[in-house]
Amino acid sequence: MPAVAEFLSTVASNPAPRGCDLPTCPVCADSMVAAEASAYLSDNVISYLWTCDTCGYGFVTRHTLKRFACN
């Protein structure tokens, strides 16, 4: 079954995702546990590919990481 992909931008409130922050499928509302793939796009930007196991819908999220300064 071919998957349809859409780009969705997210703003993470926490630096690391928690169980309640993981995405749900916008088509069938099924919860998603792990991204299918990830890619380092540029300086501090990571993209995740999510594909729903139930309906096959796919989308991409993009997260910007904050740099940590060491003293």
Fill in the DSSP letter of residue 31: B
pTM score of the predicted model: 0.62
Residue with tokens 């989308």: 59
The per-residue pLDDT for 56 is: 92
The per-residue pLDDT for 65 is: 81
Q: Over the stretch 8-53, which tens digit does the pLDDT of each residue have?
A: 655 555 455 555 577 889 999 998 888 999 999 887 899 999 999 9
The per-residue pLDDT for 16 is: 54
On the CB side of 42, CA atoms within 13 Å amount to 2
For the chain, list the domains and their CATH numbers: 5-64 (2.20.25)
